[in-house]
Structure 1
Amino acid sequence: MAVLRVKFTKTKRDKLAQILWILNWISVVSGVILFSLGLFLKIELRKRSELMGKGDINSVPNMLISVGVVACIINFLGGKICYDCTDSNKFNRWKLFMLPYIVCTFCFTFCILVGAVMCYTMRNELEESLYLGLRDAIKFYKDTDIPGRCFLKKTIDILQIRFQCCGNNGFRDWFEIQWVSVRYLDMASKDVQDRLKSNVDGKFLVDGVPFSCCNPISPRPCIQYQLTNNTAHYNYDFMTEELNIWMRGCREALLDYYTDIMRSIGITVLLIWLFELSVLTGVRYLQTAMRNVLLLGDPQCDSDGWLLENSFVETAKNNINIIKNLGKANQISTVSGNDPNMDIKTANHGPENVPTKSIPTA
């Protein structure tokens, strides 16, 4: 029994074909939107690629770009098919192509759904990439005179000012690295020498942060150094007073920024998926209705359309049987497990050991 059977008159078939023709052209626009969203996300990720570790974070934008291009091609072709379906004679040229087209469109629609899901599952990969990238970028903050790293100080400072953040996980990350270049340290100073000798790695570590961590909204002048020393500042308590630097880490700030973008893109892609699914459903009804018209032989008669010719269970069983029967035609039957080549009979050419007759000579 057919699933979701609907009866179509000639007028309803023509109207359905016209509506689907319009919807396919709208779907071409949705393909452009998918392409644009993927391109936008790719550009946003590339803007801060130097702050991200090596990882496959471009899989989502690449997926959206690919699906967008395919959407434009498939829906453009679908519009042509639906336009020709208003005439049964023109439909003859597409009747063998319609079912493969619907299968390909179904796979493409499934890819859109996968792209939408990937927008929501990308967070973990992005978080790890940001953690590794920011960790290395902060480590090389001081290397302003080394080619390939000289831009990182400016990048980190702009990042912390724009996103109102400090460090990777927080401002304490700056306490664990030497972020002041040796060029700007007075090596003759006893304080500098003591700090260099105070740790195994010989680094100049201070409980301070770069200027870009300062919060301009704070009424107190920014305290960058000796943040944990209460006696170094008047009327200051490190444990109880709210510091006048940004408390949030840049990894969290960037992660929230990209998560908001991907959430918006994910919702848009889901809406496009629902729209494409509705168009695919309409095309399936049109294909089955037009096929039945050809079987009946009367272009003006009523015809039935459906999503599946049999029930879901029967369709699944038929597909399983098709898979099981694949290759059976090439199998060689065996008898009792013996080699089938052992029982090959040879032709009887007469008795053996028959002496040859001599041919008399003239």
Structure 2
Amino acid sequence: MAILKIKFNVQMRVKLAQGMWLLNWFCVLVGIVIFGMGLFLKIELRKRSELMDNQESHLVPNSLILVGLMACAINCFGGKFCYDSLDPAKYARWKSVLKFYLASCVFFTFFTFITVVLCFLMRIDLEDTLAKGLKNGMKFYRDTDTPGRCFMKKTIDQLQIEFRCCGNNGFRDWFEIQWISNRYLDFSSKEVKDRVKSNVEGRFLVDGVPFSCCNPASPRPCIQQQITNSSAHYSYDFQSEELNLWTRGCKQALLNYYANMMHSMGALVLLGWLLEVTAMVGMQYLHTSLDSITNPEDPECESEGWLMEKSLKDTITSMLESIKELGKLNQVATATEEEKKQEGTTVATVS
């Protein structure tokens, strides 16, 4: 028994075909936008790839790019079908591929929905990736003379200035690493020797931060050395000088930046998914209403369209049987090819 059956006359079929034609081409435009968003996100992630611990974060932009390309291809095909559907001669040429097309639409809408979910869950993966990447990047901040790491100081300074952040979770993270290169330390100085000896790993640790942590909105010149020593600076109280440095960590700043971007992209992809589901349902009604025309010589007669010809359980069962039949056909074709090869070998041996 058909599900959600609707009766169509010729005017309804024409309006449905025209509406689906417009909707499919609008979905093509949405696909182009999604493709552009995927490229933009991929570029943004690559710009800061040295501050990320792995490449798994590129799963989302790659999925967006693929969704955009698939949307353009599938909806271009759908638009062409809608344009030709009201011509019986042209429609007859499309009938053999319509079932494959509708199955492709089902797979595409499922994949698009998975991409929407990934857009909203990307923050979880990025949080761990950025935490490890930023921590390692800060360790290499001082290696300005080391090949492959000499760019890290510039990268982190630009990051802290652009996003108004300091350190991984906060400016205190700089107190735990040696961010000043040995090249710029005077090891004949007693103060330097004492600081190096007082550390188990022989590092030069100070309660200071790079210049890029300074907040230009501070009413006084930036204090970036001996930050926790209130007596080292005139009229300075470490606990109350909140404007002196950026207090937000760069991990949180980048997470907010990417999360806001991904939520916007996820909302647009969700809209695209809703449009694709609508287009798929409309195409199914158009296809079935044209197939059920009882008198092909009278195109103005009434017909019936439906969402599914059988129940959901029967539809899934028939789809599985079709897949099994395709598998059997492939096995038969393979066996036939092997028999031909064996016959050819036998003939060659006899000769």
3-state SS of the aligned residue for 1:304?
strand
Measured at CA, do residues 251 and 33 of structure 1 come closer, stay the same or move farther in structure 2, by a change above 3 Å? same
Measured at CA, do residues 243 and 299 of structure 1 come closer, stay the same or move farther in structure 2, by a change above 3 Å? closer
Q: Residue in 2 aligned with 1:108?
A: 108
Q: Residue in 2 aligned with 1:163?
A: 163
Q: Residue in 1 aligned with 2:180?
A: 180
1:195 matched to 2:195: yes
Q: Residue in 1 aligned with 2:77?
A: 77
Amino acid at match of 1:273: W
Amino acid at match of 2:213: C
**In the TM superposition, what is the alpha-carbon distance from 1:125 to its structure 2 partner?**
1.1
Measured at CA, do residues 284 and 188 of structure 1 come closer, stay the same or move farther in structure 2, by a change above 3 Å? same
| Deviation by residue 1:218-264 (Cα, 9 ceiling, x = unmatched) | 11221111112222223333345435101110011011001111111
Root-mean-square deviation over aligned CA pairs? 2.2
3-state SS of the aligned residue for 2:99?
helix
Identity of aligned residues (%): 57
Matches of residues 155-304 of structure 1 in structure 2 within 5 Å? 155-242=155-242, 244-293=244-293, 298-304=298-304
Q: Residue in 2 aligned with 1:50?
A: 50
Aligned equivalents of 1:279, 1:132: Cα separation in 2: 44
Amino acid at match of 2:63: M
Q: Would the aligned equivalents of 1:14 and 1:85 in 2 still touch at CA under 8 Å?
A: no
Task: Name the structure where helix makes up a greater proportion of residues.
Answer: 2
Matches of residues 280-359 of structure 1 in structure 2 within 5 Å? 280-293=280-293, 298-316=298-316
Amino acid at match of 2:293: V
Select between 96-105 and 319-328 the one with higher mean Cα deviation. Answer: 319-328
| Deviation by residue 1:20-48 (Cα, 9 ceiling, x = unmatched) | 12221222111111111101110111111
**In the TM superposition, what is the alpha-carbon distance from 1:146 to its structure 2 partner?**
1.2
Aligned equivalents of 1:85, 1:96: Cα separation in 2: 13
| Deviation by residue 1:343-362 (Cα, 9 ceiling, x = unmatched) | xxxxxxxxxxxxxxxxxxxx
Q: Would the aligned equivalents of 1:195 and 1:205 in 2 still touch at CA under 8 Å?
A: yes
Q: Would the aligned equivalents of 1:28 and 1:75 in 2 still touch at CA under 8 Å?
A: yes
Measured at CA, do residues 106 and 323 of structure 1 come closer, stay the same or move farther in structure 2, by a change above 3 Å? closer
Amino acid at match of 2:125: E
Measured at CA, do residues 56 and 171 of structure 1 come closer, stay the same or move farther in structure 2, by a change above 3 Å? same
**In the TM superposition, what is the alpha-carbon distance from 1:320 to its structure 2 partner?**
7.1
Amino acid at match of 2:66: S
Aligned equivalents of 1:29, 1:321: Cα separation in 2: 36
**In the TM superposition, what is the alpha-carbon distance from 1:129 to its structure 2 partner?**
1.3
TM-score, normalising length: structure 2: 0.88
> Which structure's CA Rg is the greater one?
1
Amino acid at match of 1:91: Y
Aligned length: 329
1:21 matched to 2:12: no
**In the TM superposition, what is the alpha-carbon distance from 1:148 to its structure 2 partner?**
1.1
| Deviation by residue 1:278-326 (Cα, 9 ceiling, x = unmatched) | 1111100001111111677643210110101123344456567888999
Select between 3-12 and 197-206 the one with higher mean Cα deviation. Answer: 3-12
Q: Would the aligned equivalents of 2:52 and 2:130 in 1 still touch at CA under 8 Å?
A: yes
| Deviation by residue 1:53-77 (Cα, 9 ceiling, x = unmatched) | 1231101111111111111111111
**In the TM superposition, what is the alpha-carbon distance from 1:5 to its structure 2 partner?**
1.0
1:62 matched to 2:62: yes
Q: Would the aligned equivalents of 1:4 and 1:307 in 2 still touch at CA under 8 Å?
A: yes
Aligned equivalents of 1:39, 1:67: Cα separation in 2: 12
Aligned equivalents of 1:327, 1:151: Cα separation in 2: 55
**In the TM superposition, what is the alpha-carbon distance from 1:49 to its structure 2 partner?**
1.0
Aligned equivalents of 1:28, 1:294: Cα separation in 2: 34
3-state SS of the aligned residue for 2:263?
helix
Unaligned runs of 5+ in 1: 329-362
Measured at CA, do residues 294 and 102 of structure 1 come closer, stay the same or move farther in structure 2, by a change above 3 Å? farther
Q: Residue in 1 aligned with 2:32?
A: 32
Aligned equivalents of 2:117, 2:272: Cα separation in 1: 13
Aligned equivalents of 1:141, 1:90: Cα separation in 2: 66
Aligned equivalents of 2:256, 2:32: Cα separation in 1: 27
